[in-house]
A and B are shown apart, each in its own frame.
Chain A
């Protein structure tokens, strides 16, 4: 891709915040969102290591922050809130994507939508203090088939993978798609050694 097809857009006073966040500030917004998603991943991966590698009992495997703040892992409101934040971020940032990257981004959005429904069910049971299916603990639909730790590892994976693929096609747009991107996310070619350090 040449630099001619992807000049860095400038913010203007006429732009709404949605246009800015999907245009000149799309890269920064994606960096921030990715950092939040990866921080959340750290917790899930830490919990999985505690269970699968260290052999800790599941109730004691609370990730990193959960070791100091045990309420965090038990709070359905926190889990639901994060699922909602992810869903809203997917929706807000969608217009910065075009073509192939847009399709993958929206696939991640719809999978996250279902993930959020599952957390809403858990949150509802916590609010009404009545668990579905006479379960001793709040349960979601797929939790009837798959244990909770593995299920949410799976949910986060099937949301994260299309999200990464969307960002990949956003960074490396297919021919013809780069010109339609209104942001500076696409990778600029390294034309000279002096610019290599900034890539």
Chain B
């Protein structure tokens, strides 16, 4: 299972890196496109970070102590 978490983590880290690179790249775009791009890239970056932290918050055999629900928003 750690393998599964590790593989998914690689993708989440890559997504975070891409979001940062995209944020920088979008700075060179025309203003309306830049704003739209940066908003969604920021969401991608924060969401990937939060998911990464959650993914590694649990230990085998121990129930998770965090109980976020979809209503809390991601």
Q: Tell me the bound Cα distance from A187 to B74 in angstroms.
A: 25
Residue count of chain A within 8 Å CB distance of chain B: 41
Q: Tell me the bound Cα distance from A184 to B43 in angstroms.
A: 33
Whether the Cβ atoms of B22 and A165 lie closer than 8 Å is no
Report chain B residues within 8 Å CB of A172: 58, 63-64
Interface residues of A, dominant DSSP: helix
Whether the Cβ atoms of A51 and B25 lie closer than 8 Å is yes
Whether the Cβ atoms of A161 and B7 lie closer than 8 Å is no
Query: Interface residue tally of chain B, by bracket?
Result: 35 or more
Identity of the chain B residue whose Cβ is nearest the Cβ of A41 in the assembled complex: B11
16 residue pairs from A and B, CB less than 8 Å apart? A45-B14, A48-B21, A49-B21, A51-B22, A100-B69, A106-B70, A147-B37, A157-B47, A164-B8, A164-B12, A164-B51, A165-B51, A172-B63, A174-B63, A174-B64, A187-B1
B: residues with CB less than 8 A from A are 1-2, 4, 7-8, 11-12, 14-15, 18, 21-22, 24-26, 29, 33, 36-37, 39-41, 43-44, 47-48, 50-51, 54-55, 58, 60-61, 63-64, 67-70, 74
A-B residue pairs, 9 tightest by C-beta? A189-B61, A154-B40, A146-B36, A52-B21, A107-B70, A52-B25, A172-B58, A150-B37, A157-B44
